[in-house]
Amino acid sequence: MATFRTLSTGDVIRVAIARYLKFYSHGFVDLSWLNRFCGSVPGNFSEEDVKDVELMYCLLVSAEKIGSLQFDSASTFLNQCEKFSSKYGSSVQRIVHYFTEALREKFDLETGRITSKGAKGEENMLLYPEVMVVNLKPALLACFLELPFYQATRFAGMQAIIESVAAAKRVHLIDLEIRSGAQCMLLMQALATQHEPQVELLTITAVGTTLRHEIEETGKTLAYFAKTLNLPFSFKVVMVTSLKDLNENLFELHKGEVVAIHSSITLHHMIRLPNCLESVIRVLKNTNPQVMVVTEIEANDNLLSFEDRFFEVLFYYSTFFDCMEDCMSRSDQNRMMVEELLGQAIRNIIANEGEERIVRHMKIDAWRAFFSSFGLVETELSMSSLYQAELVVKNFACGKGKYCTFEKNGESLIVGWKGSPHLSLSVWKFHQDKGREGFIHHVFGPGPLSVYKVSWDPLSTLKLGSVSVPVSVSRRSTAEKKMEGKTREDLEKSGMIDTWLGKHSLLYTGATRHPFILSIRDGTVDLSSFKTWLGQDYLFVREFAPFVASVLVKAWKESDDSYGDREVILGGLASLNDEVEWFKREASKWGVQLSSISPQKANENYCRFLEYLMSPEVGYTVAITAFWAIEAVYQESFAHCLDDGANTPRELRETCQRWGNDGFGQYCLSLKKIANRRLEKASEDARLVDASKEVLNKAEVALIRVMEHEVEFWNMSRGGS
């Protein structure tokens, strides 16, 4: 990964355009339209930046000369580009290399040097994306894992589906391009851990035009995964020669099923096929889906002139190459293979016109116009989906996720790299009675972007605009289920906490069904991870005690004694003494030297968060919500290790009992009841007082933060940072 450049590739293009305008502005050609591509760029250039700018300048002039049919001078500049660009060099050299190849092909076509376009094999790859996926599977997979934006849209998109189907007993997911099926696993995991209502059947139908065998293999993997989750599951394949032949009767739909549609980077393949998109949307509408989640490439190269197309595509692919430069090493073979593939797409877009243009993309504005014409209604991505996106990118080494940017466009999310758009993620509801069918003209040119950045500063409340309408899902913990019949009155009244758990179900599952916990449950736990957890949790509990004391003080000040909150909290505080002693005994049993352990980063971060919760600016309602969440994650996690079917090693059962026993479950229920009562009061007051709205907002953030810290704590125990 290169660190000596000060300019991104986008900056290099902007500087090169500015330079180009300076030289050519006295000419006869009106170049004022290029001004819109110039933006502000940093002032200090390194030596490499200067070389990059010169190279980019040559590329711009080559394009301009070809566009204005000045082939002799175009040739001179193209020769320069060929000489100084390289597919092994910096991201600028690489992008210039591939664009030069594309311009050379255009040059040869325009000057009659060649007539047929591209090598046949390459065309096949572009025509049949599934074939490309198979041929380049390991390389694509590697890039998919290394580049944060794909993971961000996958998690956020699946969260939107989970929220939409949460109340259903029978769920049917139609996936227009299933690939490895990793996205389906997220849904399966969430449904398997959903207690109420219990899912009776999940059906996944994969749609494909080729590679039946690969799709079926994915189906087998998913079926195996479902079995491990104890999730009733059925996998179907719908194969068609062309997507135009898709028909709702091909789907085995059943009464009472809730249908959801997932389309990730698929629909744009149909843009070039007359009436194909229209026909597919009509068919999907006839399946009466609850929701459709679409991820698409946020680029516009469909109906533009050569010049406009050149710049649009240059900026789009520069972002892509920049991201790879930031996240992968220059010698990475997977990166090079994927760049080759992108090079083919660039060649196709730049050099070809009409039917020869296989690669076509549309931005969210055009998709919006298209879907709206079928009566589809764009739906806001929930806060929880946005949170999933934010959370997942944080796990990437390159920039710890801070380069992966999120902007809102309408109700949809634009995921970019350092502010340059890359993918759009949108959620659609179908209204059966609406629709002006027929594709209206594509809408080009970006509309006003209502830009916001998701902020997760513990000291701030959510800056996501209004908190989205809560999904009414009741999720009950293992202990709650066990106590069925005993405290039914309490259980049946599902409050704000359940609503939030429904909204943030993926995160809650992440915290309570973490691989560390699952490894205890299935007996494969690595003992060194267990010992790490033991030592670190001992340190955590010592910090946790003053936090519980601070909640007690707040209860004293802010709550009426008649509710009995103080006794519950005092009981929890008292038991911590015993807990600290237990840690000491357990540590000596496992040979863990507590005195020589210092807190790891994740532990320190969590303790810093506790300190914040202790501060006077955090009121009782927020503090008790966080307190419940901290205890509940352990209760739910360890109780899972004692469930029927658990294979927890005998020596670890006592540990699991500590937090998984029914008494601790009761205690968590009491805390939950207190938190729900306070939150209910706050939501009643919120109608009148803004401060109460803020309390609710803060409490929801605190709950999310706790779950996030818990995930990081488990990660740390397994040897993460």
Ligand X SMILES: Cc1ncc(CN)c(N)n1
- Residues in contact with ligand X by CB under 6 A are 537, 540-541, 544, 630-631, 634, 710, 713
The helix (H) or strand (E) run that includes residue 664 is helix 662-686
Q: Cα–chain-centroid distance for residue 305?
A: 34
Q: What's the CA gap between 362 and 144, in Å, rounded?
A: 21
Q: How many CA atoms lie within 13 A of 172 on its CB side?
A: 18
Report the nearest approach of ligand X to the CB of residue 503 (Å). 21
Q: What's the CA gap between 213 and 211, in Å, rounded?
A: 5
Report the nearest approach of ligand X to the CB of residue 709 (Å). 7
Question: Measured from the CB atom, is 307 or 604 closer to ligand X?
Answer: 604
**Phi–psi pair at 286, nearest 5 degrees:** -70, -15
Question: Measured from the CB atom, is 77 or 634 closer to ligand X?
Answer: 634
Question: Measured from the CB atom, is 231 or 674 closer to ligand X?
Answer: 674
Question: Measured from the CB atom, is 55 or 548 closer to ligand X?
Answer: 548
End-to-end CA distance of the chain: 21
Report the nearest approach of ligand X to the CB of residue 214 (Å). 42
Question: Measured from the CB atom, is 494 or 575 closer to ligand X?
Answer: 575
The helix (H) or strand (E) run that includes residue 235 is strand 233-239
* Residue closest to ligand X (Cβ): 634
The DSSP annotation for 133-194 comes to HHHTHHHHHHHHHHSHHHHHHHHHHHHHHHHHHTT-SEEEEEES--TT-HHHHHHHHHHHT-
**Secondary structure of 109-135 as H, E, C letters:** HHCCCCCCCCCHHHHHHHHCHHHHHHH
Question: Measured from the CB atom, is 378 or 636 closer to ligand X?
Answer: 636
Q: What's the CA gap between 150 and 422, in Å, rounded?
A: 10
Active site residues: 710
Report the nearest approach of ligand X to the CB of residue 384 (Å). 21
Q: What's the CA gap between 667 and 665, in Å, rounded?
A: 5
- Residue 122: closest CA among 309, 352, 395: 352
The helix (H) or strand (E) run that includes residue 427 is strand 420-430
Report the nearest approach of ligand X to the CB of residue 712 (Å). 9
Q: What's the CA gap between 624 and 552, in Å, rounded?
A: 9
Task: Say what angle helices 333-351 and 91-110 make with each other, to 10 degrees.
Answer: 30
Q: What's the CA gap between 383 and 401, in Å, rounded?
A: 18
Report the nearest approach of ligand X to the CB of residue 630 (Å). 5
Residues 55, 84 contacting (CB under 8 angstroms): yes
Question: Measured from the CB atom, is 174 or 630 closer to ligand X?
Answer: 630
Report the nearest approach of ligand X to the CB of residue 544 (Å). 6
